[in-house]
Structure 1
Amino acid sequence: MDSATESQEFLAGVDQARAALRELFEPTPLQRNDYLSAKYGADIWLKREDLTPVRSYKLRGASNAMRKALADRPERRRFVCASAGNHAQGMAYACAHFGTEGVIFMPVTTPKQKIDKTRHFGGPAVEIRLVGDYFDDTLSAARKFCAEADAMFLPPYDAADVIEGQATCGLEILDQLPPGVTPDLLVMPVGGGGLSAGMARIFAARSPATGLRFVEPMGGPSLKRALEAGKLVTLDKVDNFVDGAAVARIGDLNFGTLGTFPAEDVVVVPEDRLCGTMVEMLNIEGVVLEPAGALAIDALRDLGEISGKTIVAVVSGGNFDFERLPEVKERALRWEGKKKYFILRLPQRPGALREFLNLLGPDDDIARFEYLKKSARNFGSVLIGIESGSSASADAVRARMDAAGFTYIDITDDAVITSLIV
C-alpha cells in the first residue's frame, strides 16, 4: 500500500472514530486564551482535553479500541488494563458505556482519589485489583491474568486502534479553528506516544504547514533520548512526578511515526518550573491541571520567538489530586527563587539567633526552622527555610548572610538532601 492510500485510510478510520465518540461526549472546546496570548504576544489556543468526562484524552483511545474489538469479536466481553490513572478511568468509562466487564490493575501505591474516580466511572462494570508497588509489576500481573482469563488487553498507547482514537483530537482542532486560520505550531505532551503519533499523522495529511513540538518532563525524556540515539531506548530511571507522561520507553508502533522528527522538536521541561505553570493557571485562569496537563503550556517558554504566531497547545489532563497542592506550591516557589533552604552553622551563644533574624527583610518569612543544640560544641546546625516576596529579596538575604560572615550550605537545589529532610 502506498503512503497516500495509507494516509487516506487512516483519515477515514479517524473520522469514523470521531463519529462514534459523539455517543460518549461532545467535542472538547478549543479556546483562545487571552492571558497567554497577551503574555507571549501570540495567538494561543488551548485544546481542553481536561474537559472530557474523565478529564483527559485517554477516553478517546480506550473507547475506540473497545468499540473495534467488540465489532470484531462481539462475544469477547471482558477487558483488562494496567494503569495508575487516566487510562484506567478511560477504560472504566468505556466499559460502563458498552456494557462490558473490565478488570483494572493498579499499583498498590495509587492514590485513593484515582482509585475512587476509576470506580465511580466504571461502577459495577469494573473490578479494580491493586497489585505491585511498581507499574512494571502491575503490568505483568495484568498480562498474566489476561492470558489466563482469555480476556482482551487494552493497551494505553501502543496500539493502532488507540492511536486512531487519540487522533480524533487533531480532527477536532482543525475543524474548530476559525475559517482560514492555519496554526503555525501544534504543541502537545508526550508520554507513551499514542496521542502525539496520531496527531502527527493527522496534521501531516490535513495541515502539513503546521510545525509540531513535542513536550516531555525532564524526569522522563524517552522520546528525546530515542531521537538522539536514532533508535528506541529504555530510560534507566524515571521521575514519576509527571505521572501522566513519565514513561521509560516510547511505544514501538508510535516511534514508527515519531522517529522521523529531529530531536530538536522535543522540548524537555523541568518539573519545578512545571509546578509554577500549574499554580499560574490555577490562580490566574482558574484552570485545574495535572502535571502532564500543563506540559504544553509550560513549553511555550521554550519555543523561541513566537510573537504574532498562531499556536495550539493541547491541555491533556485535569486529574489533579489536591493533596499534592502543597508539594506543587513548594516546588513552584523554589523554581521562582522565592524559597531557599539552608543548613546554617550557628554559634551556641545568647543572641546568635537574633543576629541572624536581623538579616531578614520585610518581605522575608521563616517557613522552616529546626535547631539541634549540642552542649559539647560551640556551634549548632540549623535547617532553615526562608520564603521571600521575590527572588531579588531572597538573593539579598543571602548577600547579607555572606557579608555578616555566616557559614551555611544552600541545599535548595540539592534533590537528594531536600527529599530526605525538607
Structure 2
Amino acid sequence: MTRFADDARSATESLRGLFPATPLQRNDFLSDRHGADIWLKREDLTPVRSYKLRGAITAMRRMRAADPRLDHFVCASAGNHAQGVAYACREFGVRGTIFMPVTTPQQKIDKTRAFGGAQVDIRLTGDWFDQTLAAAQAFCAEAGARFLAPFDDADVILGQASVAVEMLDQLGRAPDLVVLPVGGGGLAAGIAGVLADRAPGTQLRFVEPAGGASLTAALAAGAPVTLPRVNSFVDGAAVARIGALPFARLAGVDPAQVLLAPEDRICGTMIEMLNVEGIVLEPAGALSIDVLPQLAPDIAGKTVVCVTSGGNFDFERLPEVRERAQRFAGRKKYFILRLPQRPGALRDFLGLLGPTDDIARFEYLKKSARNFGSVLIGIETAEAENFARLEAALLEAGFVWRDITEDETLAEFLI
C-alpha cells in the first residue's frame, strides 16, 4: 500500500493548483454531546460542494498524461459527479458531454452548466439512470471519447484518497476512528487505502443508507451484487451495485464495521445540523454524523473524524426532509378517522387535542357509510408521547381511527 499512499500524496499536491484543502473542523456541539473529540472533514466545502471533484480532476489529468490527444470526456450523472466532471473540463480546457436523466432537477442542471461553461454539452436522456448510462456509453463509443466513471476507476479512487492525505496533515496525528459514507465505494476505498499504510491503528466505520446497502450485500455474497430495489432519497450514496474496483479494496472489511442509516433518521440529522450549526448537508453528506449515537459507547474520549461528503441540497426539498424527520421522531402521524356525520362531531374531536397538538392536514376522503365520513388527518405535536394520550382519549370518546403513518401503500396515495 505504500505506493498507493505515495501516489495519493502526489495527487493531493496536484489538486492544490485548482482549489485549497477542505477544512478539518472540530465540532464542539457533537463533541460535547458524545463526550469525544469529533472533527468534520468538510467535503461539502469544495468548489462543487462535494468530494467528487477530486476524482474527476485526478482521473482526467492522469488519462491525458497517458494520452495527450484526449480532449473529449463523457459521463453519466444526475448530480455531484456531473458537476465535478464539468469543473474539470473547464479547468483543463477539454470538451465534456454530460448525460443526465430527463428527471434531473433544474437546479442541478444549471449548476453543472455553470461549472463547465462553454466546455460542456449537457444531454437529458432517459427517465431512469440506467437508460442515461447506456446512452452515455453508446455515445462515448461512437464519438471516440473517454468515459469517466463516477467510482469504479482506479484513478478516481486515487483522487478521492486525497481526502485522507489532507485529513492526516491537518490533524497532525492519526485519529482513533474515521466514519465514512459509502455509495459506489470510491471514497471509502481511497481513504481506507491511505489509512492502512499511514495510520494502521485507525479504525474505520462505513455508513450506507438503509435503502441502498450495496456494500453490505457484497460482503454477504463475497462479490458485488445488484440490489433488486434502491431507495433513491440519499441520491449521493444510493447505489444498486458497489463498484468492482472499490470492493476489491474493501472485501476484507468486517460486516460489523458497516452501519445502516434509515433515510428518515438522516433527515433529522440534516435538520439538526442546519438549525444548530448552520451546516447545509445533502442526505449522503449527513451519513457519517447520523450514526454517531450508535457509536457513542465506543467513542467516548476518542478522536473521531466524520467525512461530510457533500452539501448539494436543493432547499425545495426542505419541507419533505422536515416531514420525514418529524415522522421518524414520532412527532407527526397520519390517521384515517371515521367521523360521525352529525353537528358537533368535529368539535368533539378537536376538544381531545392537547395544547401542543397541531392539525397539519385535514381532508375529507369520502362517506364510508350513511352516517359516517372518512377523514385524512395529519397531526404534529411537540413530544412523541403525546400521541399515546391522544389515542387513549379517542378510544374513550368512541372514535374509530387507523394510523397509516407507516403504511407505505396508503401513504403513497394519500399523503
Given the alignment, which residue of 281, 287, 300 partners 2:273? 281
- Tell me the amino acid that sits aligned with residue 257 of structure 2: D
Matched residues in 1 for 2:387 and 2:200: separation? 47
1:204 aligns with 2:196: yes
Matched residues in 1 for 2:323 and 2:56: separation? 35
Q: Does 228-237 or 161-170 show the bigger shift?
A: 228-237
Matched residues in 2 for 1:77 and 1:373: separation? 62
Given the alignment, which residue of 274, 284, 298 partners 2:290? 298
1:237 aligns with 2:229: yes
Determine if contact 1:348/1:380 at 8 Å carries over to the other structure: yes
Give the superposition deviation at 1:375. Answer: 9.2
Q: Does 408-417 or 192-201 show the bigger shift?
A: 408-417
Task: Please list every run of 5 or more consecutive structure 1 residues that lacks an aligned counterpart in the other structure.
Answer: 1-6
1:53 aligns with 2:54: no
Given the alignment, which residue of 65, 73, 77 partners 2:71? 77
State the match for 1:4 in structure 2: none
Matched residues in 1 for 2:363 and 2:221: separation? 46
State the match for 2:343 in structure 1: 350
After superposition, the C-alpha distances for 1:137-191 in whole angstroms (9 at most, x for unaligned) are: 00000000000000010000000000000000001111111x4x43111001001
Matched residues in 2 for 1:163 and 1:372: separation? 53
State the match for 1:322 in structure 2: 315
Q: Number of aligned pairs? A: 414
1:339 aligns with 2:332: yes
After superposition, the C-alpha distances for 1:292-347 in whole angstroms (9 at most, x for unaligned) are: 00000001122241211111000000000001000000001111111110011111
Given the alignment, which residue of 80, 87, 91 partners 2:85? 91
Matched residues in 2 for 1:301 and 1:398: separation? 30
State the match for 1:262 in structure 2: 254
Q: Does 283-292 or 373-382 show the bigger shift?
A: 373-382
* Secondary structure class of the residue paired with 1:46: strand
1:122 aligns with 2:116: yes
After superposition, the C-alpha distances for 1:194-223 in whole angstroms (9 at most, x for unaligned) are: 000011111100111111000010110010
State the match for 2:211 in structure 1: 219
Determine if contact 1:241/1:271 at 8 Å carries over to the other structure: yes
Provide the TM-score with structure 2 as the length reference: 0.98
Q: Does 385-394 or 140-149 show the bigger shift?
A: 385-394
Given the alignment, which residue of 391, 397, 410 partners 2:403? 410
Matched residues in 1 for 2:80 and 2:389: separation? 44
Determine if contact 2:34/2:296 at 8 Å carries over to the other structure: no
Give the superposition deviation at 1:372. Answer: 3.9
Matched residues in 1 for 2:218 and 2:395: separation? 45
- Tell me the amino acid that sits aligned with residue 377 of structure 1: R
| Closer, same or farther: CA 376–329 of 1 in aligned 2, 3 Å | closer
Determine if contact 1:387/1:394 at 8 Å carries over to the other structure: no
* Secondary structure class of the residue paired with 2:208: strand
After superposition, the C-alpha distances for 1:325-382 in whole angstroms (9 at most, x for unaligned) are: 0000000111111111001111111111111111101101100001145396121101
Determine if contact 2:264/2:325 at 8 Å carries over to the other structure: yes
- Tell me the amino acid that sits aligned with residue 318 of structure 2: L
State the match for 1:62 in structure 2: 56
Give the superposition deviation at 1:406. Answer: 1.7
* Secondary structure class of the residue paired with 2:320: helix
Q: Does 404-413 or 216-225 show the bigger shift?
A: 404-413
Task: Please list every run of 5 or more consecutive structure 2 residues that lacks an aligned counterpart in the other structure.
Answer: none
Q: Does 401-410 or 104-113 show the bigger shift?
A: 401-410
Determine if contact 1:269/1:298 at 8 Å carries over to the other structure: yes
State the match for 1:185 in structure 2: 177
Q: CA RMSD in A?
A: 1.1
- Tell me the amino acid that sits aligned with residue 421 of structure 1: L
Determine if contact 1:348/1:373 at 8 Å carries over to the other structure: no
Give every structure 1 segment of 4 or more consecutive aligned residues whose post-TM-superposition deviation is greater than 6 Å.
Answer: none
Matched residues in 2 for 1:77 and 1:168: separation? 25
Matched residues in 1 for 2:166 and 2:366: separation? 64
- Tell me the amino acid that sits aligned with residue 56 of structure 2: A
State the match for 2:162 in structure 1: 168
Q: Does 388-397 or 321-330 show the bigger shift?
A: 388-397
Give the superposition deviation at 1:395. Answer: 2.8
After superposition, the C-alpha distances for 1:275-301 in whole angstroms (9 at most, x for unaligned) are: 000000000000001000000000112
Give the superposition deviation at 1:402. Answer: 2.4
Q: Does 275-284 or 406-415 show the bigger shift?
A: 406-415
State the match for 1:3 in structure 2: none
Matched residues in 2 for 1:175 and 1:144: separation? 42
Matched residues in 2 for 1:375 and 1:205: separation? 67
State the match for 1:30 in structure 2: 24
- Tell me the amino acid that sits aligned with residue 43 of structure 1: D
Give the superposition deviation at 1:405. Answer: 2.5
Matched residues in 2 for 1:415 and 1:200: separation? 37
